[in-house]
Structure formats: C-alpha cells, structure tokens
Copies of this chain bind each other. A is one copy, B any other.
Amino acid sequence: MKPCFILVRPQMAENIGTAARAMMNCCIDEMRLVEPDYSPTCERAIATSSGAEEILYNAKVFNSVKDAIIDLQKVYATTGRTRDQVKPVFTGEGMAKDIAVQSKNNIKCGVMFGPERTGLENRDMDYADVIVRIPLNPKHTSLNLAQAVLLTGYEIFRLTDTTSETGMYTANQEMASKAELDHLFNKLENDLEANNYFKVPEKKPRMIRNLQNIFLRANLTSQDVRTLHGVFDYLNNKQ
C-alpha cells in the first residue's frame, strides 16, 4: 500500500505538473490537492507533467487539509523549517522506513507538502503525526515544490529498489572466459618474446604480470579479446 502525496494550496500550475512528474518517477500514484490555485488538469499542469498526466487526471481536490487527510491513518508533513510543536521528526529515510512498516500493517499514509512561498503553516501541521525534514546543506535547505516531492518520493522508491549498486554494462556481449584470456596473454607473451621485448630475463615474470593485470582490470568481453588479438597481430605486422 503506497502513501498518497498531498499538495497543500499549491500556487503554480507548473509545480502541480512537475510534482506529478516527480511522483511518477518514484511510482507514487495518488495525488491530492488542497485549495489549489489551478486545476490539476489545466493546460500548463498537463504540459509540465511530461507524460505523468494520468496522475493529474486521477488527482482529487479538497477544500481543506482536514478533508484531504480524514480517511488516512498516519500523516507526515514535509518542512525545511522547525515548528514550535512537539512532534516526532524523521529524515526522508526514516519516513520511508516508517511508511514501509505502516504499509505492511495496512495503515494508510499520506505525505503533505506546503505552498511554494510559505511552506506548511502551523494550522496544516496540526494534522501531522510526523514532521519530515530531509537533511540537506544546513546553509541551503530550500527546495522548490517538485524537488521536495522528488526527494521524498525517491526515498520511498529507493527503499524497495533492488538494482545492484555496481555492475558492468556489456552491450549484450559475453564476459571473456579465463581460457580466452590465457590464450590472449600467451600470444602477447610469445609475440613480445619474438620481438625481443624482454631484454632482462629476471624482469620478465614481473613484466608479464603487470601486463596481464592491465587487461584483467579492464574486465574484457569475448569481443574485446578478439579485438585485441587483431590489434596485436597488426602491431606485429602479421596481417
């Protein structure tokens, strides 16, 4: 169960559109709007949503924060500023983890975002169980609405994302086998030997090891090995 995102009194149609785009980036589908200055389906919002118009067409508009959150069970309020209310404060990551726990227990959550100029006011925060403050440069925490939506949605998305942190894009090529590498290294050694590259015999093992390490670090594909065979042949005037 995913949280809904609630934009409170957004002032610019463009920001409604770009917020929808950011929500779609992060697989957050449900947008709610409280007293927006523009309809979520106005031309400018649709244009700036860059393909996320589905979210805008499904967005619901409410006359008050209370109406927008009344069916929810837990409400988070994003703010860059400290409020004079005693409430739990979570980071974006803390919020994402908490929403995941609530969702497992079928507790319906919503995240509120304030108007562009002022942010959420105390009367809006009254409805929040938790304040969310995304850690950023303390000297420059100000985000525009779509960027606040993006970072918040990103924390929720990244918690469940399983993409490997590092990998190799091989353009559909196979990684070279150790047999192919061994063949390449032997050929290079023999060609260099034939061309009198190893002038000091005692240094030869170390020189070969260093050369091999260059190519091992390159994570060669089978195609790369074939390419290097050709390169060595041409350098060696065998073609």
- Which A residues form the contact surface with B (CB < 8 A)? 18, 21-22, 24-27, 50-52, 82-91, 93-94, 97-98, 131, 135-137, 139-144, 146-147, 150-151, 154, 157-158, 161, 163-171, 173, 219, 221, 224
Contact status A82-B169, CB under 8 Å: yes
Question: How many copies, total?
Answer: 2
A41 to B86, CA, bound (A): 43
Can you list 11 A-B contacts (CB < 8 A)? A22-B147, A24-B140, A25-B137, A50-B144, A86-B169, A88-B168, A91-B166, A137-B157, A143-B150, A150-B151, A151-B154
A48 to B170, CA, bound (A): 40
Contact status A89-B147, CB under 8 Å: no
Answer whether A137 and B88 are a contact pair too, CB < 8 Å, given A147-B146, A150-B150, A165-B94: no
A199 to B161, CA, bound (A): 54
Q: Which of B27, B90, B147, B168 contacts A137 (CB 8 A)?
A: B27
A21 to B166, CA, bound (A): 28
Contact status A224-B168, CB under 8 Å: no
A168 to B74, CA, bound (A): 16
Contact status A137-B91, CB under 8 Å: no
A140 to B140, CA, bound (A): 29
Q: Which of B91, B141, B157, B167 contacts A165 (CB 8 A)?
A: B91
Contact status A168-B24, CB under 8 Å: no
Please give, as numbers and ranges, the residues of chain B lying within 8 Å of A147 by CB-CB distance. Answer: 22, 25, 146-147, 150
Contact status A51-B140, CB under 8 Å: yes
Please give, as numbers and ranges, the residues of chain B lying within 8 Å of A97 by CB-CB distance. Answer: 165
Contact status B137-A87, CB under 8 Å: no
Please give, as numbers and ranges, the residues of chain B lying within 8 Å of A161 by CB-CB distance. Answer: 135
A45 to B18, CA, bound (A): 19
Max chain B CB contacts within 10 Å: which of A94, A165, A224?
Answer: A165
A28 to chain B, nearest CB (A): 9
A50 to B117, CA, bound (A): 12
